[in-house]
Amino acid sequence: MTRPHRRVIIATAALLLVAASCGNATGTAGNSSDKKVKAPTDGGEANRKTHKVISGVPGVSDKEIAYAVVGTKQNNPLGTCILDCYLDGIKAYFDYRNDQGGIYGRKLVVGEVTDDQLGNNQADALAITSGNKAFGSFQAGLLQQGWGELNDAGVPTYTWGIDGTSAANRDAIFPSTVIGCPDCTRRVVPYVAMQAGAKHAGVLGYSTSQNSQLCADSTGASFKKYARDTGVDLAYLKDDLPYGLANGIGPEVTAMKKKHVDFISTCFDLNAMKTLAQELKRQGMSDVRLYHPNTYNQKFVQDAGGLFEGDFVDVQFRPFEAATNTALTAFKKWMGKNNSDLTELAMVGWINATLAYDGLLAAGPQLDRAKVLAATNAMKDFTADGLISAIDWSTAHKPYTQATRSKVKDLECGTVVEVANGRFRQLGSKDKPWLCWDSTDLTWSKPVPTNFD
């Protein structure tokens, strides 16, 4: 296998972590400095306009707090907008807060922006830690080789939540989506299949990614666990397909056709989902509903014509189609002011920037990196102002398993959109877009429509 081809596989494997589960996978422990500092008590909105002289803190001047942004643009195997769209969201959020006067008499600014070109993430991280020009880091790369260096240097780092392994047990790494349990069963996919009137489910994953296999296997286990309750059985499971479906997927579709599969959930990237949908159409199975983990991309869906009509798409935040709240309204307003498209990565950037700001606010006007880390890791109900399901950062860095999940108080939540007439529409309540279950009680129940404002 050539090195570029291997990098493509690894990158897609990272992306597939989004659909793997609901928390962090196992990883190496960090030693970020917030463990030595108590959470500050002089932060909060009442002190937001207080200006104090700060010296010796990287990226902080009398007028600005600067951040470095790293992401993948060149050599992106997915072909989607990553770095530029991510940057759109960060800049929009900074403009929003700077319009309110900034924080502690300083403006939030994006300093250096670096394209890691897929394989240079570690070198870019070392440049941040040694350069002392950035207070914190935003990361939207497909390969996360540099997160360990950023964590060990105590650099507050806000990331696209696609790699639980690289985020786990690192207290300075704050992903937009916490992935904590790759082997945990989840009720959202069987529930959606039941709502679709399905009877026989198929589940597909890649062999080239352990995370894709875990995703497929846990989804298969979910269908098995709740089959009597949902009326949807697991008719077909294939977790060893080659990345990108280079050899097509005809035999697998034929096998599913023989087993009367009418609902398919995958752990694929969006391009493979298109290949699957095309093969289903070729074999006269266009009525089979698909569950997409990574296709929340309106242009991609529209460009595919009616190929995905009736399908379901997992969304990692409050969907654009849900009822607006203050944060979603602000996001749309400031994205519009900057003439930026509403994209998944832009929302990820906005969510990351929200946590960066909230950490500064909680740290108080005499801030430094350690205080921000301590303040952020003391947050027990972070929702990015209602844009994501609640995260308890005091526990979220530590992974758990199906066997130990009863000790975790996190809710099991998901939000899903459906493709109708080429457009996304919210599945369930627009006002309460999340479908949530008690994570400590794994018996079947109807989801509780939830709003995290």
Rounded-to-integer distance, Cα 257 and Cα 264, Å: 11
Residue 364, phi then psi, degrees to nearest 5: 90, 165
**Confidence at residue 210, expressed as pLDDT on a 0 to 100 scale:** 73
Element (H, E) at 280: helix 270-282
Residue 13, pLDDT > 60, answer no
Residue 235's pLDDT band (cuts 50, 70, 90): very high
Angle at 75 between CA 72 and CA 80, to 5 degrees: 65
Would you say 157 and 151 are in contact if contact means Cβ atoms under 8 Å apart?
Answer: yes
Element (H, E) at 91: helix 83-99
Element (H, E) at 276: helix 270-282
Would you say 373 and 154 are in contact if contact means Cβ atoms under 8 Å apart?
Answer: yes
CATH topology classification for 31-177+326-376: Rossmann fold (3.40.50)
Residue 183's pLDDT band (cuts 50, 70, 90): confident
Residue 340, pLDDT > 70, answer yes
Q: Over range 36-47, report the average pLDDT.
A: 81
Mean pLDDT over all residues of the chain? 91
Burial of 64 (0-12, 13-18, 19+ CB in 10 A): middle
Rounded-to-integer distance, Cα 134 and Cα 155, Å: 9
Residue reference for tokens 């109708």: 420
Where does the chain hold its CATH 3.40.50.2300 domain(s)?
31-177+326-376, 182-315+402-453
Measure Cα distances from 197 to 262, 292, 294 in Å.
Answer: 9, 17, 23
**Confidence at residue 244, expressed as pLDDT on a 0 to 100 scale:** 85
**Confidence at residue 36, expressed as pLDDT on a 0 to 100 scale:** 60
**Which bin fits 39, alpha (ψ -120 to 50), beta or left (φ > 0)?**
beta
What is the tens place of the pLDDT at every residue in 301-332? Answer: 999 999 999 999 999 999 999 999 999 999 99
Q: Over range 356-366, report the average pLDDT.
A: 97
Residue 12, pLDDT > 80, answer no
Q: Over range 37-62, report the average pLDDT.
A: 91
Residue 79's pLDDT band (cuts 50, 70, 90): confident
Query: Looking at the chain, how many residues does it have?
Result: 453
Relative to beta strand 64-71, strand 107-115 is parallel
Q: Over range 188-217, report the average pLDDT.
A: 93
Would you say 357 and 106 are in contact if contact means Cβ atoms under 8 Å apart?
Answer: no
**Confidence at residue 405, expressed as pLDDT on a 0 to 100 scale:** 87
User: pTM for the whole thing?
Assistant: 0.92
Residues 6+ apart with CB under 8 A from 225: 185, 442
**Confidence at residue 41, expressed as pLDDT on a 0 to 100 scale:** 76
Residue 34, pLDDT > 80, answer no
Three-state DSSP state, 313: strand
Burial of 374 (0-12, 13-18, 19+ CB in 10 A): buried
For the chain, helix (H) and strand (E) counts, in that order, are: 14, 14
**Confidence at residue 305, expressed as pLDDT on a 0 to 100 scale:** 93
Relative to beta strand 411-420, strand 312-315 is antiparallel
Measure Cα distances from 259 to 235, 256, 262, 265, 373 in Å.
Answer: 6, 5, 9, 15, 52
What is the tens place of the pLDDT at every residue in 251-290? Answer: 999 999 999 999 999 999 999 999 999 999 999 999 999 9
Residue 21, pLDDT > 50, answer no
**Confidence at residue 42, expressed as pLDDT on a 0 to 100 scale:** 79
Element (H, E) at 13: helix 3-15
Residue 212, pLDDT > 90, answer no
Percent of the chain with pLDDT over 90: 81
What is the tens place of the pLDDT at every residue in 394-447? Answer: 999 999 988 888 878 788 999 999 999 999 999 999 999 999 999 889 999 999
92 vs 244, more confident: 92
Token code pair at residue 427: 């599945």
Pick the closest to residue 192 from 23, 22, 435 (CA basis): 435
Rounded-to-integer distance, Cα 320 and Cα 214, Å: 29
Residue 349, pLDDT > 80, answer yes
* Greatest CA separation for the chain: 72
Q: How is 322-381 classified by DSSP, letter by letter?
A: SPP-HHHHHHHHHHHHTT----HHHHHHHHHHHHHHHHHHHH-SS--HHHHHHHHTT-S-
> Which CATH number fits the domain 182-315+402-453, given the four candidates 3.40.50.2300, 3.50.50.60, 3.40.1440.10, 3.40.50.300?
3.40.50.2300
